[in-house]
């Protein structure tokens, strides 16, 4: 089995910082952070402060280098198309590809350019806060990667899954290899659509879920629209309200979901791949989506307020 010795990482936000923090100690300069222009210069000059520790990385410009054993896309969906172009020199016939982005479509987007042959399904379970050049997360919390083929037999894992397992074990990256990765991705999608968006509109931290009856009711009602669409697609999400509350309880209660972080920082949110995608898929599968329609417009109003385009505000 071929060992993964070189990794190209594009994106140093919450997800990218977690991978960089774990992979650099074992890979050194064989961890390549792909960035160009002013962003590359800023990373070289300032590095990244992760949990109070200053880190610097081997930055490789787009178009430079040779194929890596593994490419990890860790941007937001809004930056994925540019990232796909930027890593072209890093992808060869045997390069494994992970895109643990929010939403349910990142693998499909990457496959349009690089095909499905080397893509391994993945998602990230992490609560991380990024402010400027500083990223913080609890290194002892139960954060982990969920990854695998579309279907996985624990007794007969594919070589690709085993190669990634060896890398993650060596780097101290927690992971789960889920039997059904489409189910895993849609469960995470339900989480982002419900918790992230409700928190963004109401300015709620993770601690609201399970401690506030009304917040919990909103989480469940919004998630129900995602679950109905998933079930019509043949993806059997069950017991979401109870099971995912156990996941939330592992997150520090004062942490804020990423969509709320975006609003507070004046950034554009991922509402188009959350509520926007639910509305679109709801029309396709005949599922009413009134809660997501409300959240979509509410979050767009918050973005407009940040942009200064709401008169009188």
State the CB neighbour count (10 A cutoff) for residue 208: 21
Residue 218 and residue 159: Cα distance in Å, rounded? 42
> What local confidence, expressed as pLDDT, does residue 280 receive?
97
Q: Where are the alpha helices (DSSP H) in 47-138?
A: 80-86, 106-114
Per-position pLDDT tens, the chain of length 313: 799 999 999 999 888 999 999 999 999 999 999 999 999 999 999 999 998 999 999 999 999 999 999 999 999 999 999 999 999 999 999 999 999 999 999 999 999 999 999 999 999 988 777 788 888 887 766 678 999 999 999 999 999 999 999 999 999 999 999 999 999 999 999 999 999 999 999 999 999 998 999 999 999 999 999 999 999 999 999 888 778 888 788 788 998 998 999 999 999 999 999 999 999 999 999 999 999 999 999 999 999 999 999 988 8
> What local confidence, expressed as pLDDT, does residue 197 receive?
97
The alpha carbon of residue 27 and the mean position of all alpha carbons in its chain are separated, in whole angstroms, by: 23
Burial of 49 (0-12, 13-18, 19+ CB in 10 A): middle
Contact status, residue 192 vs residue 243, Cβ threshold 8 Å: no
Under DSSP, is residue 287 helix (H, G, I), strand (E, B) or coil? Answer: coil
> What local confidence, expressed as pLDDT, does residue 243 receive?
80
State the CB neighbour count (10 A cutoff) for residue 168: 20
* Residues in a beta bridge with 54: 49
> What local confidence, expressed as pLDDT, does residue 137 receive?
80
H or E element, residue 144 = strand 144-148
| φ, ψ dihedrals at 13, nearest 5° | -85, -145
Contact status, residue 70 vs residue 4, Cβ threshold 8 Å: yes
DSSP letter assigned to residue 230: H
Q: pTM (2 decimals)?
A: 0.90
> What local confidence, expressed as pLDDT, does residue 142 receive?
62
């Amino acid at each position: 089995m071929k060992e993964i010795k070189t990794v190209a990482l594009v994106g140093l936000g919450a997800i990218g910082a977690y991978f960089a923090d774990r992979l650099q100690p074992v890979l050194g300069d064989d961890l390549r952070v792909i960035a160009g222009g002013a962003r590359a210069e800023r990373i070289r000059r300032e590095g990244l402060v992760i949990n109070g520790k200053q880190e610097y990385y081997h930055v490789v410009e787009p178009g430079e280098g040779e194929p890596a054993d593994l490419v990890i896309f860790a941007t937001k969906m809004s930056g994925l198309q540019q990232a796909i172009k930027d890593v072209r020199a890093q992808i060869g016939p045997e390069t494994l590809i992970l895109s643990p982005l929010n939403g349910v479509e990142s693998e499909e987007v990457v496959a349009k350019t690089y095909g499905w042959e080397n893509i391994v399904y993945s998602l990230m379970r992490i609560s991380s806060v990024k402010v400027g050049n500083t990223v913080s997360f609890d290194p002892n919390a139960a954060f982990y990667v969920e990854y695998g083929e579309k279907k996985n037999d624990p007794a007969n894992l594919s070589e690709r899954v085993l190669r990634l397992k060896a890398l993650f074990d060596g780097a101290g990256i927690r992971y789960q290899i889920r039997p059904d990765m489409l189910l895993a991705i849609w469960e995470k999608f339900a989480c982002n659509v419900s918790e992230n968006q409700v928190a963004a509109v109401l300015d709620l931290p993770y601690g609201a879920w399970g401690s506030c009856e009304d917040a919990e009711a909103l989480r469940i009602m919004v998630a129900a629209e995602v679950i109905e669409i998933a079930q019509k697609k043949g993806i059997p999400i069950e017991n979401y309200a109870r099971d995912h509350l156990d996941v939330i309880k592992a997150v520090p209660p004062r942490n804020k979901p990423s969509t709320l972080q975006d609003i507070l920082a004046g950034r554009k949110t991922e509402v188009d791949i959350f509520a926007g995608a639910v509305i679109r898929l709801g029309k396709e599968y005949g599922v009413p989506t009134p809660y997501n329609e409300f959240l979509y417009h509410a979050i767009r109003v918050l973005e407009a307020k940040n942009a200064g385009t709401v008169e009188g505000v």
